[in-house]
Structure 1
Amino acid sequence: MLIVTTDYISGKKLETLGIVKGQIVQSKNIGRDIGASFKNLVGGEIHSYTEMLSEARAVATRRMVEEAEHLGADAVIDVRYASAAVMAGAAEILAYGTAVKFIAE
């Protein structure tokens, strides 16, 4: 499955199948939250949250691809990510794009 952030794929004619998305709300455990609170006092990167968001993006992307595969897509174009804090220590990640099929010329 080809995944791109552009709204085209060079050299390919595309048939639009529709919007696809993948979504996850993820949180860290209380032990990591306590450690992050201490890091917040002194500043710097909070590695446990960076890791959490990276894992969440991977899951959201995988879910988006699965939805595109279900539609019979060859690629997802114009891929974007959105995030939002749901509550302290939890974030929503949304991956979305347009599922397309390659048209033989």
Structure 2
Amino acid sequence: MMIVTTEQVAGYEITEVKGYVKGSTIQTKHIGRDITAALKGIVGGEIKGYSDMMAEARKLAIHRMVEEAEAKGANAIVGMRLQSATLMSAAAEIIAYGTAVVIEAE
């Protein structure tokens, strides 16, 4: 599955638009990560636990979006975007979305 953030794919022609697709996940904080985050807030630096958690969340959201596109018969997703939102103090949602299409080499 080809995934691009552009509306077109160089060297390919969009022959069919299958429609909007999305995938999402909600992740919650872990007490161990919270303790590390509190310490990093004092001394500064990357909070590796949160970075890893968000990377996994993005991967899962994209995977779910791809599954939805494949179910529609698409072989590519154009205009892909990622968005995050805080749902409550201990949880965040990641959503991946775009347009499922069929592309063919020109």
- Would you call these one fold, judging by a TM-score over 0.5? yes
Equivalent pair of 1:6/1:78 in contact (CA under 8 Å): yes
Equivalent pair of 2:11/2:105 in contact (CA under 8 Å): no
TM-score in terms of structure 1 length = 0.91
Distance 2:38 2:79 in 1: 36
Range moving further from structure 2, 49-58 or 24-33:
24-33
Equivalent pair of 1:4/1:77 in contact (CA under 8 Å): yes
Q: Is 1:32 matched with 2:33?
A: yes
Aligned length: 105
Q: Which runs of 5+ in 1 are unaligned?
A: none
Runs of 4+ in 1 over 4 A off after TM superposition: none
Range moving further from structure 2, 3-12 or 55-64:
3-12
Distance 1:90 1:34 in 2: 16
Overall identity of the aligned pairs, in %: 54
Q: State how 1:37-48 maps to structure 2 within 5 Å.
A: 37-48=38-49
- What is the alpha-carbon root mean square deviation over aligned residues? 1.6
Q: Which residue of 2 aligns with 1:60?
A: 61
- Structure 1 residue 45: Cα displacement: 1.1
SS at match of 2:46: coil
Q: Which residue of 1 aligns with 2:5?
A: 5
TM-score in terms of structure 2 length = 0.90
Q: Which runs of 5+ in 2 are unaligned?
A: none
Q: Is 1:17 matched with 2:15?
A: no
Range moving further from structure 2, 28-37 or 55-64:
28-37
Equivalent pair of 1:33/1:89 in contact (CA under 8 Å): no
